[in-house]
Amino acid sequence: MTSSATTTWQHGCRAAVVSAATAVVLTSGVAFGPDASAAPVDPYEFAAAVDREAISDHLETFQQIADENEGNRADGSPGGVASADYIVQVLTEAGYAVEVQEFTTESGSESENIIASTPTGRDDNVAVFGAHYDSVPEGAGMNDNASGTAALLQVATELIATEPLNNQVRFTFWGAEETGLEGSAAYVDSLTDAELESLIVYYNYDMIGSPNYLIGVEDGKADSYNGAPLTEGSAAAMDLQTDYFDSIEQPWQPSEMCCTDYNPFHDAGIPIGGLYTGGREAPKTDEEYEKFGGVAGEFPDPNYHTAGDDLANVSLEAIDINTGVIAFAAASLGASSESINGIAPTEPTTSPSGSPSSSGSVPPSTSPSTPTSPPSSPPTTSSPPTSSSTSPEPSATPTPVRSTAPTTPSPEPVPDRKPFSGSMAETGAPALAVIGAGALAALTAGTLLLRRRP
């Protein structure tokens, strides 16, 4: 590390890595922060309402970034930097006070984590959700891991509009995962003992849109992980996700934990969980075909870590399904963490009750605030987007800050992902409603049309 100082971060401070010039016009219904009069959102309603079309827009933006930067978004590369800038831009415009945590990788290059915590909720009882945003140099990394990044990014932009929350929810986007889980390790290393003790759970979302997908829930009930017993609370973290899937009759199966950004959290004693839709570990079995469809005998993601991991390699259906459980877990833990760590909410809250229909949705009685759609193009080196007369004043938008991680992690080699294991869950008809409408209208000039998935 060169310094532990914190400095103001502003858009436009980096070299040009994208060609599009953007002017973003906001509608009068945009939510830039919590509505103090709002009631806590029902987790089932929130899961159904997250704007899936906005997630597709995020994916297209990440593909465009790769297309304009030698076909990849690798850590420290122009495409990786542009991806980080885009994430910061979306979170900042949604109303988060974003921290950009800089760290030096084992190779000596600079990287950064992006951290956004909800403004309300106990900061001594925090649920952490994460996804890595970097790709391998060989490709755009759309399944690995623009899929997890895009879904988590949209859940974050919409959760802030549902506040107040009882517990803080923290959204983290890691750099340098592909070089050895360096970003998540740097973050965990930077936390004090008190900060570690404040964490309820860490959920990781890495590869949640495999084209020949499986719906895998990381197995928090395994006997051990990384040679040590799983942290207490990991089984309950798994149950929170599987109970949601069961309630909407969505088939799932346990996935053996391995080799991604929950490693440092587990090593620090934090309960862990997550989702995974499969890579190149083993072809889809006949039994898995009966549960999830697709093609038996073929890998869930034959393009893992190759140039073929582009927008056409992503299953939007898989992302839709997984987005529901991400949103459900975030809203549930924002309301109460009692199921994982035994801490009851200190304020009246809306907790999950009843069961949604098989479509995964219920008629909303208290809908979340209108969600914010993403910008229509990557960030540029120009000044931050200006708002129309009907939009909130730019001064109301928090300014991201930069901080420096105090230590440099020593990464370990990360093998390819693992096979699924364990017994199958009960099957049902997979269905999840795609609901919600974006409130942010974006006008772009000089941009290329983004390629949509056929």
Active-site positions? 177
**Cβ–Cβ < 8 Å for 254, 420:** yes
Characterize the bridge pairing of strands 216-218 and 199-205: unpaired
Residue 23 three-state SS: strand
With residue 114 as reference, give the H or E element that holds it. Answer: strand 110-117
With residue 99 as reference, give the H or E element that holds it. Answer: strand 99-104
**Cβ–Cβ < 8 Å for 103, 177:** no
**Cβ–Cβ < 8 Å for 82, 149:** no
| Neighbouring C-beta atoms of residue 38, cutoff 10 Å | 15
Whose tokens are 């890998």? That residue is 299
CA–CA–CA angle 408, 15, 395 (5° rounding): 90
Cα(442)–Cα(448) distance, rounded to whole angstroms?
Answer: 14
Cα(247)–Cα(377) distance, rounded to whole angstroms?
Answer: 37
- The amino acid present at 77, given as its one-letter code, is S
Give 165's contacts (C-beta < 8 A, 6+ positions apart). Answer: 40, 118, 120, 121, 159, 334, 335
With residue 170 as reference, give the H or E element that holds it. Answer: strand 167-174
**Cβ–Cβ < 8 Å for 31, 370:** yes
Cα(442)–Cα(191) distance, rounded to whole angstroms?
Answer: 38
Q: How far is CA 114 from the centre of its chain?
A: 11
With residue 445 as reference, give the H or E element that holds it. Answer: strand 442-445
Residue 446 three-state SS: coil
CA–CA–CA angle 436, 168, 317 (5° rounding): 35
Burial of residue 359 (number of CB atoms within 10 Å: 0-12, 13-18, 19+): middle
Residue 49 backbone dihedrals phi, psi, to 5 degrees: -90, -15
Output b/e per residue, 46-68; b: 16+ Cβ within 10 A.
bbbbbbbebbbbbbbbbbbbbbb
